[in-house]
Amino acid sequence: MTGRPCPDWEILLHGFIDGELDAAHALRCEQHLAECAGCTAAVRDLQALRRTIGQEGVRWPAPESLRRSVLAAVARETQASPAPRSRPFLSLRGASGALGRWSLVPSLAVLAAALVLVLASPRQGPGLTDELVAGHVRSLLASHLTDVATSDQHTVKPWFGGKVDFSPPVVDLAARGFPLIGGRVDYIGGRVVAALIYRRNGHVINLFVWPASGGAATALAREGYNLVNWTQAGLTFWAVSDLNAVELREFQEDFAEATPK
């Protein structure tokens, strides 16, 4: 790794990258990353490592035969040593003063089986749409809506240089009722992304952008917020807002029309 994180922040940054922090601690990390070049470089290195590990063929998958044999062993142990609910997990009382009627062998077998299944399963985390909504809400909380606050698209676009590994398209849609108010970097789906901020009357629209491929346009709602997703010119876009679904779709169409195909 080329980046050297601050010692007091290293553990917290790992939780931030894994999406394990609550909104308050995630916001603290974002504020620190905006000011600390060492931690920012370390986060980028860790993200690159995660992408490498996540590639097909890098992670060793447990064979299906192992899964079947483990489940069969668990079933046999369960049938052979049913555990009455009224008894503790492990009793140290017995006539001989040893382990009494309970044996550690079935418990260890079950524990080992559970460990194998956990390690062989993909890591579960919050869904992408949950992360997007959280990112939108987080941006409205502690004055972190924009890192660069301006309606000048020619200022916002170059500001992203060196902060993300792609060039997000930036257009001002003020003539269509969606003025640009700025941009920032955010952390969604295990990577740093660009966020373009627009308004529609009193409603904020967060437009998250990162490299992607394929995919048709979709629209959905989550926790009172509307989301629209589409891909264009090798990038994926997610617009999130409390704006009504019709106007958010209008924003998507106007933005797509004004940017390269």
| 44-62 pLDDT, tens digit each | 888 777 777 666 555 556 6
Judge whether residue 8 has pLDDT over 90.
no
Dist CA 134 CA 187 (whole Å): 10
- Which residues make beta-bridge pairs with 211? 235
Tokens describing residue 158: 């170059």
Supply the pLDDT for residue 99: 38
The confidence band for 82, taking pLDDT boundaries of 50, 70 and 90, is low
Q: Residues 159-197: pLDDT tens digits? A: 998 888 899 999 999 999 999 999 999 888 788 899 999
pLDDT given at position 80: 67
Of 139 and 164, the one with more pLDDT: 164
Q: Please answer whether residues 195 and 210 qualify as being in contact, where contact means their C-beta atoms are separated by less than 8 angstroms.
A: no
